[in-house]
Structures are given as C-alpha cells and as structure tokens.
Amino acid sequence: MFAKCYSQYYELFNSDKPYKKEIEFVYKWAGNPSRILDIGCGTANYWQHFPHDCFIVGIDSSKEMIAASKHKNRILHQNVLEGFKRTWLQVGLVTALFDVINYIPDHSWWKDLPLQKGGHFIFDIFNESMVKRDGFRATKKTIGSISRMISPLNYDGKKIILEIKFGGNGLKLQELHTMYIWSEKDIESFCGREFGIVEVKNTSTWQQWWKLQRK
C-alpha cells in the first residue's frame, strides 16, 4: 500500500488529522470493546488514543510503515487478501480506518475476520455520491521545506490512480496509489451472510463511516 517513499512522510503530512477525536468516536460507537484488531494500521501511532487497558493488535502490508512504528511488536506484516488463520484471537472489534478499505480491490476476506459473534467491524470509506458530485482534483500541501502534490490519473468511476510526488531541498520522490470507490450496494455485497449493517454515518466531507455486526 505505502512504499518506502510515502512512509517516510506519512506522519508529517497527516499531523493535522483529528486522530484523538476519531479514535474516541470509534471506540464509543463500538461499545467500548476490550480486544481490537486494526487492519492497515500503518505506524499505528494513533493507538495512544485508545484506553490503555485495551488490547490492540494490527496488520499492515507495508514493512516500512511497521518499521517506523512504536508498536511494531504488535503489528503483523500481512496482506488481508491472504486471509486469517483459525489460530487468531477472537476480538470484539475490527477496524479499518483512514480509507484503508478504499485501497483494497477484493473483500472476500471479510468472512474470515477473527471477530466474535455480535462483534463490530467499523471502517470509513469515500462517500461515493460525494465523490461523483465533486470529482477528484489535484491538491498540494507544503510543510516546512517539503511539498506533497497529489494528482488524479485515469479515474473511471470505480477506480482512481493517484500520483503522489514529494519535493523540496533536493528531494524528488514519486508513487502511484490505486484506490477503489465502493457504493452502498458494494458494501452490502461484501457483507454476505456474515455481517449486518448496523449504521452508516455521513460527514460534511467525503468520509463516510460504517458499523457492521457479525451475525
């Protein structure tokens, strides 16, 4: 998902994200679970905002992001498409935060999540209707002497390729990120017979929150 280039600057360019507010919201929305699996956790530095007595483990597909984490001993290098073995500890909440679901092309793995019956799966995705309304556009953000430019390429209504460039002080790095735009019908299909949709919360931005429950 995130290669060495982006992992070096991920925390810097997301330093203004309201991590504390979002984590507190998710935890309360899930009913204050004691065990959590966090999918696509990256550096997982936002875990500090969960209660200290909450047991959290994560998985991420980027070795570079894990290496940069303070919690690397609790993060497994794994792609969710590989599935989950039955030896996984059952948890009361599975999270996939900060658009992680939009980065994954296939969601047949949901049925294998080590989530106990009645437990919740909470994630946020792009709001498809707002994406269609607003469209993608190039954005630039500068912090200190480093700039990040994100430019949309090849958007076909379901998939977008984003070109991410970093520059400044002799720095010149580039990555391509592919993201998928999921509709409500897509999410319903991914749920299959394993999950029921409890609630969907829209925001004033593209961010749309989903809470599912294991049947």
Output phi, psi for 178, to 5 deg: -100, 130
> Which pTM does this prediction carry?
0.93
Question: Is residue 76 predicted with pLDDT exceeding 60?
Answer: yes
pLDDT at 3: 46
pLDDT at 171: 80
User: What's the rounded mean pLDDT across residues 63-85?
Assistant: 90
Q: Rounded to whole angstroms, how far apart are CA atoms 46 and 93?
A: 16
Check whether 112 has a pLDDT greater than 80: yes
Could you report the per-residue pLDDT of 125-172, keeping only the tens digit for each?
Answer: 999 999 999 999 999 999 888 899 999 998 998 999 999 998 888 888
pLDDT at 37 over 80: yes
Using CB atoms within 10 Å of the CB of residue 87, give its burial: 0 to 12 exposed, 13 to 18 middle, 19+ buried. exposed
State mean pLDDT over 91-113.
96
Paired sense of beta strands 55-60 and 75-77, if any: parallel
170: left (phi over 0), alpha (psi -120 to 50) or beta: left
pLDDT tens per residue across span 3-17: 455 667 777 777 788
Q: What is the mean pLDDT of residues 173-201?
A: 96
Task: Please tell me the predicted confidence (pLDDT) of residue 172.
Answer: 86
Q: CB-based contacts of 196: which residues, under 8 Å, 6+ apart?
A: 212, 213, 215
